[in-house]
């Protein structure tokens, strides 16, 4: 599948992203608040309290997962646009994901080369964090995720390939749809965030996937320089 043709104004995308974050995090926090208030009640058995506590903890975990999908690299004034060294930015993301990959018995194999594009570092890293993380999570019995950079005259393409469980046609068609998740504790927000960021940075993407074989995500941005 290819990038959807809907092209929003850039600032609109940025402010939408910010608005979605507070909206998404408010939901689980409201649930926690409700259960905390219930726990203050007088005639509550230990057993019920335990149940409420577990629900509250689940919801807090969900809030954390949402923050991971949106704001891992958050800094004030995230809208800053500057030249980004693709290889350095990807290295940062890969370093950050190594412990997570090790936990899953997954090796991240980078083939990077110098290239500069124009964009925002925080968003760029968040975008590839979500994509590579999905690759790692797709391999239940270990394997490798390959991250490669290809530079052209006018574009730079980042390819993330995994040997994981892949997706059906139906799943592939729903990739990036908010709340679409096949994972027990998935948010279904990571892919949407990645796609919004790619569009914001004038990029395009294609994804190929085969059930039981693996998935390849290709993201192309306009090139600023080959250094
Ligand atoms: P989450 O990871 O929280 O489930 P995402 O928005 O990141 O949500 O991804 C949505 C869904 O897309 C996943 O639940 C999974 O079914 C599918 N998906 C995304 N990337 C991959 C991949 N590399 N391999 C297989 N399935 C994937
Ligand atoms: Mg994800």
pLDDT in tens, 99-121: 999 999 999 999 999 999 999 99
For residue 73, the SS3 value is coil
Which pLDDT score is estimated for 119? 93
Q: Is the pLDDT of residue 161 over 80?
A: yes
Share of the chain above pLDDT 70, in %: 91
For residue 111, the SS3 value is strand
CA 189 to centroid of ligand 1, rounded, Å: 9
**In testing the pocket of ligand 1, which one of 68, 106, 126, 134 has its CB within 8 Å of the most ligand atoms?**
134
Distance CA 196, CA 199 (A): 5
181 CB under 6 A from ligand 1? Answer: yes
Q: Which helix (H) or strand (E) holds 14?
A: helix 10-39
Helix and strand element counts for the chain (H, E)? 6, 7
Task: Please tell me which residue, 204 or 2, carries the higher pLDDT value.
Answer: 204
For residue 79, the SS3 value is coil
Residue nearest to atom 18 of ligand 1 (CA): 134
120 CB under 6 A from ligand 1? Answer: no
Distance CA 55, CA 103 (A): 26
Which pLDDT score is estimated for 110? 98
Residue nearest to atom 23 of ligand 1 (CA): 135
CB of 175 within 8 A of CB of 191? yes
Q: Locate 111 and state its tokens.
A: 């083939």
The top-scoring range by mean pLDDT among 1-5, 72-76, 180-184 is 180-184
**Backbone phi and psi for residue 108, each to the nearest 5 degrees, phi listed first:** -100, 125
164 CB under 6 A from ligand 1? Answer: yes
Distance of CA 71 to the CA centre of its chain: 10
pLDDT in tens, 55-89: 999 999 999 999 888 887 776 665 678 999 999 99
Prediction pTM value: 0.85
Distance CA 212, CA 141 (A): 12
Q: What is the mean pLDDT of the chain?
A: 90
Fill in the DSSP letter of residue 108.
Answer: E
Ligand nearest to the Cα of 24, by number: 1
Angle between helices 190-200 and 46-71 (to 10 degrees): 20
CB of 90 within 8 A of CB of 65? no
Q: Angle at CA 70, nearest 5°, toward 197 and 51?
A: 150
């Amino acid at each position: 599948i290819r990038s959807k043709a809907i092209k929003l104004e850039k600032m609109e995308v940025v402010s939408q992203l910010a608005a979605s974050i507070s909206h998404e995090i408010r939901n689980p926090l409201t649930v926690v608040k409700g259960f905390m208030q219930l726990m203050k009640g007088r005639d509550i058995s230990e057993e019920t309290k335990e149940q409420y506590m577990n629900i509250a903890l689940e919801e807090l975990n969900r809030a954390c997962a949402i923050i991971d999908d949106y704001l891992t690299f958050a800094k004030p004034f995230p809208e800053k646009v500057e030249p980004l060294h693709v290889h350095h930015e990807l290295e940062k993301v890969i370093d950050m994901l190594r412990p997570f990959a090790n936990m899953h018995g997954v090796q991240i194999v980078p083939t990077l080369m110098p290239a500069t594009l124009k964009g925002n570092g925080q968003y760029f890293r968040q975008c590839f964090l979500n994509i590579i993380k999905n690759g790692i999570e797709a391999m239940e019995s270990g394997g490798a995720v390959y991250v490669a950079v290809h530079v052209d005259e006018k574009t730079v393409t980042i390819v993330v390939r995994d040997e994981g469980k892949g997706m059906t046609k139906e799943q592939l068609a729903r990739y990036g749809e908010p709340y679409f998740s096949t994972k027990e504790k998935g948010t279904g927000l990571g892919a949407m965030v990645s796609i919004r960021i790619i569009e914001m940075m004038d990029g395009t993407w294609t994804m190929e996937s085969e059930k039981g074989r693996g998935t390849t995500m290709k993201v192309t941005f306009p090139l600023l320089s080959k250094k």
